[in-house]
Structure 1
Amino acid sequence: MQEYIAQDEISKEILNSAKLLQAVNVNALIIGSNGVGKKSLAKYILPKSQIFEAKALQQDIIDEVITIKNDAIIIDKIQDLTNISLLLKWIEDNSIRVIAISNSDILNQKLKDIFSINLEIPDLSKRENDTKLLVQKFSKEASSTLDMHTIATSKLIINTSNNAHSLRKSIYFSYLFETIGEEEILMFLERYLSEHLDGENAYKDLIYLFEVPLIKASTKKYKSQVQVAKNLGLNRITLRKKIDIHKELL
């Protein structure tokens, strides 16, 4: 059975609803941002069912190449459907149960009406305990995949900006970072810069790649702007200007 991480209270409530959906034959809609666990939850509800991407399923129905009757399916990215009436007729004619996945709750009303239950999964930024468990899971996975000793949690880079997708990537990067030195960092930076050099203001446009991490690291280490300015060898006015310039990234 597909694993769905549920340590926070909101996740436990969602999981309880999912357990109910295992027992009752109704259509349900799972909503949430990328990487919050929508597909894992859908597979938890219907572990033996096929997953179809909405656009591909729509085309298969048009081409009459899909022969499913009296069954349950998972439809991913249902917000991408363009012919709602076609899908609804196919569902009704073939007695299909649907567990659908969407990044948005802004859907055609006719489509929304077929779902008896809506489950909305919050971002990881609102699920502290789930995130901790995912960090442990991805750390163990990275250690095994890369054949490295497990590294301390305090040394892991935790990025949940794109939920589990970015978190997993940041954990793997944390492990890889343990194996690289200054030479490799300069090499990676050089390659990135060479691919993004464009126009006559390249220096001005790309200097943030150096300044943003330097300001972030200094702020974490020295706390106050007075100490940050002192240890970076900048006056406070210059530091404040740079912070204002990069405020969206800081």
Structure 2
Amino acid sequence: MQEYIAQDEISREILNSAKLLQAVNVNALILGEMGVGKKSLARFILPQSEIYEARNLQKDIEDDILTFKDEAIIIDKINEITNIDLFLNWLNDYNIRIIAISNTDNLNQKLKDIFSINLEIPNLSKRSEDTKSLVEKFSKEASSILDMPYINSNKLIVNISNNAHSLRKSIYFSYLFETIGEHEILMFLEKYFGENLEGENSYKDLLYIFEVPLLKACIEKYKSQVQIAKHLGLNRITLRKKLDAHKDSL
């Protein structure tokens, strides 16, 4: 059975609703942004069911090549169904139960009406305990797959900007970073700069690659602008100009 992380209160409530859906034969819609765990929750509800991409499923319905009936299926990206009447008739004619997944609730009203229950999964930014559990899970996974010693959580890079997708990537990067030295970093930068040198202002255009991570590290370590300016050897006016120039990235 697919694991659905549920350490936060809101996630436990969603999981309780999912357990109810295991026992009742109704259609349900799972909403949330990319990487919040929609597929994991759907697989928890219907562990034996196939997952169909909406566009591919619609084409198969149009081509009349589907043979199953009286079944329950998971449909990903249900918002991409365009031939609503054809789809709804197929569900009715073949007695198909669906657990649907969507990144948006902007669905055709006829489609919305078939769902008895809607479950909306929040972003990881609102689920701190779930995030901790996922960090632990991905860290153990990375340690095993990369055959590297386990890294303490305080040394891991945690990026939840794209929920679990970016989090998993950042954890793996943290492990790989342990094997990278200054020489490798300089090689990466050289390759990146070489591929992005354009126009006559490349120095100015690419300076943020150096300045943004340096300023972020200083903000995290020194907290106050007085201390940041002191340790960077900058006057406070110059520092404020740099912070203002990169404010959208800091």
Q: CA deviation at 1:196?
A: 2.2
Deviations 1:129-158 (A, max 9, x none): 100000000000000000011011110011
Matched residue type, 1:99: I
2: CA distance, partners of 1:130 / 1:100: 23
Matched residue type, 1:102: S
Q: Which residue matches 2:95? A: 95
Q: Which residue matches 2:154? A: 154
Q: Which residue matches 2:249? A: 249
Q: CA deviation at 1:91?
A: 0.7
Deviations 1:37-80 (A, max 9, x none): 00000000000000000111111111112222110000001112
1: CA distance, partners of 2:84 / 2:241: 52
> In the alignment, is residue 165 of structure 1 matched against residue 165 of structure 2?
yes
Q: Which residue matches 1:37? A: 37
Matched residue type, 1:79: N
Q: Which residue matches 2:237? A: 237
Q: Which residue matches 1:46? A: 46
Pairing of 1:58-73 with structure 2 (within 5 A): 58-73=58-73
Unaligned runs of 5+ in 1: none
Deviations 1:24-45 (A, max 9, x none): 0000000000000000000000
2: CA distance, partners of 1:157 / 1:93: 51
Matched residue type, 1:232: L
Pairing of 1:92-171 with structure 2 (within 5 A): 92-171=92-171
Q: Which residue matches 2:25? A: 25
2: CA distance, partners of 1:218 / 1:227: 9
Q: Quick check: 118-127 or 202-211, which moved more?
A: 202-211
Deviations 1:211-233 (A, max 9, x none): 00000111111111011111111
Q: Which residue matches 2:212? A: 212
SS for the counterpart of 1:59 is helix
Q: Which residue matches 2:182? A: 182
Q: CA deviation at 1:99?
A: 0.3
Q: Quick check: 231-240 or 107-116, which moved more?
A: 231-240
Matched residue type, 1:65: I
Q: CA deviation at 1:84?
A: 1.5
Matched residue type, 2:158: I
SS for the counterpart of 1:74 is strand
Structure 2 length-normalised TM: 0.98
Q: Which residue matches 1:228? A: 228
Matched residue type, 1:202: S
